[in-house]
């Protein structure tokens, strides 16, 4: 169905039209086109639409036009399942109401000082967005009165019911005036939702957004066939080649998010885990870092998916394919937002995954294209370009070059030509990485290979091969440990330290909740050595070991001496073992 409706056809104010234009929305999305006129006319509405469809603006736009800007009491209440969503929704209200100067809104949710929220509510806001528990809390305290609230929206109603908010929601609905407008948005229309609408809505107008229109139009969907043990390597390779600013990696379990986060960290990629076990404050912190680009990769479970609302996520990796097709749509909808394009990258490690890809194609009514892993040539080209950039940057630095020039002079007097010197240095810089790339083979192995690999893996007790830093080839032979806490430690941790590396003892361990990327970050940041040059890390209960280049060992020990990691004072020394 060709859709030519414009925002100006929907009967909304010129202030909103201006705001919408400034936000870069050129055309109403299907849910907006269908819901806005009904809500403006005062009807009850059920919108079956998921995140990514523009559902927030579908209710926010008419609400802003419906409230009386000169009357400073709560007139509209929006209930959301999570704090993140409440904050996002309230943010959207603020942007859309930018030119309605007298309209204000507030987000109220648990985990934030209630006094601050009370102060804002006292000032007189027209629009209140909140989580059911905290909204009920304000009602109980008498700090929020709904006597004048003419409209209520239940956003992600199915999610709120799943989270056990039914009693709170019903109590809030009962606080509202009888003569009110009740709007439900929900991804699914399961029985509990329908029961609620029958009880609290009045001849609702039902709008269903067909699945095809849900999310995926602007998202390129691709998959790679890869050995299970090399998923990590392939993902890192794709991140490196494409140089994504921000990406999200989805895993099926919290444990896996931790493993992937640590594994990325050990490869010098700034990653943070986001899952249901984190406190609200921790989640906010992680999201804050991601928004600011202080970490470039979020590693999340499905529970956290809906809270990830950042407009410039360029890629979503399904490290594990989701267990449920609806989850897939939620996951990949983290990219391709706000009119931008994005890519959803899936890893297929066997026949069952391949079947899932087919199911997902049917579900999203879009094709998921098979791709070949970036070739070694592409990667080497990328490394060449990087080297050229690095050389230019280094030479452009205005600093005293005397020692370096003397060294060059010495090399030339040794009978080397300038080309030979340059070639030798380039090989020293790129040689190891190039060799590692040549040795990697991502293709799915035959059945026999797989059996053999499984045997080897269980002997090693590890999940991932070590990264490009110490070479997939060694990992395949199982000589090296991983940069994470593994079963190996308990069996004595026989990690070999390379000849050009020194093993340092660190007085902090699991009890201090440090992770490999904390150690890499601290050493790289404080001692000013590249994160990439740091070798294997083993974290034990009370202490850890880290391999650093031999030449940097003393410097690292000295600079780390009065420093802290996670608030704990660091003590490092050369490992005696
Ligand atoms: P939502 O489904 O409300 O979470 O919205 C998903 C994303 O779509 C958000 O990033 C919005 O900023 C964006 N968006 C909402 N409406 C439109 C529109 N009409 N045109 C383009 N982007 C939109």
Percent of the chain with pLDDT over 70: 86
CA 52 to ligand 1 center in whole angstroms = 6
From the options 3.30.420.10, 3.40.50.300, 3.20.20.70, 3.40.50.720, give the CATH code of 7-209: 3.40.50.300
Residue closest via CA to ligand 1's atom 19 equals 28
Average pLDDT, the chain: 83
Give the pLDDT of residue 489: 33
Residue 102 corresponds to which tokens in the numbers above? 């007298």
Give the pLDDT of residue 16: 96
Residues lining ligand 1, judged by CB closer than 6 Å?
Answer: 25, 27-29, 32, 51-57, 311, 337-339
The residue among 564, 90, 521, 532 whose CA lies nearest residue 289 is 521
CA 402 to ligand 1 center in whole angstroms = 57
Q: Which atom of ligand 1 is nearest to the CA of 311?
A: 10
| 7-209 shares its CATH topology with 469-574 | no
Ranked by mean pLDDT, which of 131-140, 427-436, 448-457 comes out on top?
Answer: 131-140
Extents of the domains making up the chain: 7-209, 215-374, 377-439, 469-574
Cα distances (angstroms) measured from residue 184 to each of 45, 145, 204: 6, 21, 9
Residue 147: pLDDT over 70: yes
- Output the DSSP codes for 122-164: HH--SEEEE-HHHHHHHHHHTS---TT--EEEETTHHHHHHTT
Say how far apart CA 529 and CA 489 lie, in whole Å.
27
Please classify residue 91 by burial: count the beta carbons closer than 10 Å to its beta carbon, then call 0-12 exposed, 13-18 middle and 19+ buried: middle
CA 54 to ligand 1 center in whole angstroms = 4
To the nearest 10 degrees (0 to 180), the angle between helices 166-175 and 191-200 is: 10
Give the pLDDT of residue 499: 77
User: Ligand 1 pocket: which of 34, 54, 82, 96 to mutate (most atoms <8 Å of CB)?
Assistant: 54
CA 100 to ligand 1 center in whole angstroms = 20
Q: Which atom of ligand 1 is nearest to the CA of 89?
A: 3
Could you tell me the CATH superfamily of domain 215-374? P-loop containing nucleotide triphosphate hydrolases (3.40.50.300)
Q: What are the helix (H) ranges across 293-336?
A: 302-305, 325-332
Ranked by mean pLDDT, which of 32-36, 504-508, 517-521 comes out on top?
Answer: 32-36
Ranked by mean pLDDT, which of 39-43, 50-54, 285-289, 513-517 comes out on top?
Answer: 39-43
Q: Which residue has the tokens 């609620």?
A: 196
The residue among 180, 165, 203 whose CA lies nearest residue 46 is 203
Residue 6 corresponds to which tokens in the numbers above? 């414009």
CA 21 to ligand 1 center in whole angstroms = 12
Give the pLDDT of residue 268: 81
Q: Which atom of ligand 1 is nearest to the CA of 50?
A: 2
Between 72 and 566, residue with greater pLDDT: 72
Q: CA 502, 506, 512, 518 torsion: positive or negative?
A: negative
pTM here is 0.47
- What is the average per-residue pLDDT within 53-76? 95
- What is the average per-residue pLDDT within 401-427? 92
CATH class belonging to 469-574: alpha beta
CA 28 to ligand 1 center in whole angstroms = 9
């Amino acid at each position: 169905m060709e859709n030519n409706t414009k925002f100006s056809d929907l009967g909304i104010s010129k202030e909103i039209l201006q705001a919408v234009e400034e936000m870069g929305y050129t055309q109403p999305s299907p849910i907006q086109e269908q819901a806005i006129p009904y809500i403006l006319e005062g009807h009850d509405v059920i919108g079956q639409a998921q995140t990514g469809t523009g559902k927030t603006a579908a209710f926010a736009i008419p609400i802003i036009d419906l409230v009386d800007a000169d009357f400073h009491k709560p007139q509209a209440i929006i209930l959301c399942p999570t704090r993140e969503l409440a904050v996002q929704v309230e943010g959207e209200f603020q942007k859309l109401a930018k030119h309605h100067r007298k309209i204000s809104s507030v987000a109220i949710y648990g985990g934030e000082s209630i006094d601050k929220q009370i102060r804002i509510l006292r000032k007189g806001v027209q629009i209140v967005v909140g989580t059911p528990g905290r909204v009920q809390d304000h009602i109980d305290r008498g700090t929020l009165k709904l006597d004048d609230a003419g409209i209520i929206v239940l956003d992600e109603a199915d999610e709120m019911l799943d989270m056990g908010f039914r009693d709170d929601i019903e109590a809030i609905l009962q606080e509202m005036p009888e003569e009110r407008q009740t709007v439900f948005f929900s991804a699914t229309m399961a029985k509990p939702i329908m029961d609620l609408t029958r009880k609290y809505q009045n001849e609702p107008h039902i709008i269903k957004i067909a699945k095809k229109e849900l999310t995926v139009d602007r998202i390129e969907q691709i998959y790679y066939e890869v050995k299970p043990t090399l998923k990590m390597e392939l993902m890192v390779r794709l991140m490196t080649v494409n140089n994504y600013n921000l990406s999200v990696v989805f895993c099926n379990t919290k444990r896996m998010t931790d493993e992937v986060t640590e594994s990325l960290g050990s490869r010098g990629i700034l990653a943070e885990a986001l899952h249901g076990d984190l406190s609200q404050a921790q989640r906010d912190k992680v999201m804050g870092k991601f928004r600011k680009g202080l970490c470039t990769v979020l590693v999340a479970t499905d529970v956290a998916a809906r809270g990830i609302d950042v407009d410039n996520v360029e890629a979503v990796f399904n490290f594990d394919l989701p267990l449920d097709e609806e989850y897939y749509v939620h996951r990949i909808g983290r990219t391709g937002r706000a009119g931008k394009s994005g890519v959803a990258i899936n890893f297929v490690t066997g026949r069952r995954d391949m079947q899932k890809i087919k199911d997902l194609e049917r579900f999203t009514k879009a094709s998921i294209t098979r791709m070949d892993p970036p070739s070694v040539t592409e990667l080497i080209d990328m490394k060449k370009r990087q080297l050229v950039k690095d050389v230019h940057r280094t030479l452009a630095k205005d600093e005293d070059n005397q020692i370096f020039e003397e060294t060059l002079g010495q090399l030339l007097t040794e009978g080397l030509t300038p080309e030979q010197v340059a070639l030798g240095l380039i090989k020293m810089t790129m040689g190891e990485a190039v060799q590692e790339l040549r040795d990697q083979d991502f293709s799915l192995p035959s059945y026999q290979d797989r059996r053999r690999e499984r045997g080897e893996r269980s002997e090693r007790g590890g999940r991932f091969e070590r990264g490009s830093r110490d070479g997939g080839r060694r990992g395949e032979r199982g000589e090296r440990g991983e940069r994470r806490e593994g079963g190996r430690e308990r069996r004595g941790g026989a990690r070999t330290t390379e000849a050009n590396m020194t093993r340092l003892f660190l007085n902090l361990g699991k009890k201090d909740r440090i992770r490999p990327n904390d150690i890499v970050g601290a050493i790289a940041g404080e001692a000013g050595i590249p994160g990439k040059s740091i070798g294997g890390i083993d974290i034990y209960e009370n202490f850890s070991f880290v391999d650093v280049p031999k030449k940097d060992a003393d410097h690292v020990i000295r600079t780390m001496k009065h420093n802290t990691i996670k608030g704990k004072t660091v003590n490092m020394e050369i490992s005696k073992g």
